[in-house]
Structure 1
């Protein structure tokens, strides 16, 4: 059995997918991009974009009844590996200890021309 998770505190889905799905005690969060859900604007620069992605993920997980502390796996897609250290610095503010498993890959292009996107799996 699955439950669709939706919140106005994270960007709305821009295609045929759900913001997140809860199934069997896990929350599978779709990729979050650095769009401010209140304004629809994309944050500027890699620091601003990384911060907005993390805020969006935090808000989505809280809407699902879980938290960043319960994330077990993330996948981060970045436009340039040159931004890896900057993204890690912001990422580490949200995952201070017992960090989740993670994959990070450089990709050619992301939705809306953003610099990064992150998806996550969390336990309830």
Structure 2
């Protein structure tokens, strides 16, 4: 199987992970975070993911699955409002779980899998 690691100056590869990995037909994007209140943080995470998707030759309309990690499930409704407004229809499959802690003091982290 052909495995291509994708990175650039804005989203560099790190010793522990890569921003995205492309295999034939699919792009796996690492989690992106946002800061601030939950709606702004959600929009920022999705904006970062959009750039990673473009780096990999894909787009939000080609995402087949999002995984969302929330620091506090009480933020679900506000996150969901921002998420739904930011994405094209039809909406892809999605999982949302509460995490005990997220990197960098984040309150939300979002990752995705897309077609290429």
TM-score, L = length of structure 2: 0.91
- RMSD after superposition: 1.4
Q: Which shows bigger deviation, 87-96 or 76-85?
A: 87-96
Residue number in structure 1 paired with 2:78: 86
1:8 CA displacement? 3.6
Cα deviation code 1:18-45 (max 9, x no counterpart): 00000021000011112xxxxxxxx321
Q: Secondary structure at the match of 1:87?
A: helix
1:13 CA displacement? 5.1
1:95-110 to structure 2, matched below 5 A, reads: 95-110=87-102
Q: 1:52 aligns with which of 44, 56, 69?
A: 44
Contact 1:9 1:56 in 2 (8 A): no
With over 3 angstroms needed to count, the CA separation of the structure-2 counterparts of 1:55 and 1:8, relative to structure 1, is farther
1:17-96 to structure 2, matched below 5 A, reads: 17-34=17-34, 43-96=35-88
Q: Which shows bigger deviation, 89-98 or 64-73?
A: 89-98
1:6 CA displacement? 1.1
Q: Secondary structure at the match of 2:65?
A: strand
**Unaligned ranges ≥5, structure 2:** none
With over 3 angstroms needed to count, the CA separation of the structure-2 counterparts of 1:86 and 1:7, relative to structure 1, is farther
Question: How many residues are treated as equivalent by the alignment?
Answer: 115
Contact 1:9 1:59 in 2 (8 A): no
Q: Secondary structure at the match of 1:50?
A: helix
**Unaligned ranges ≥5, structure 1:** 35-42
TM-score, L = length of structure 1: 0.86
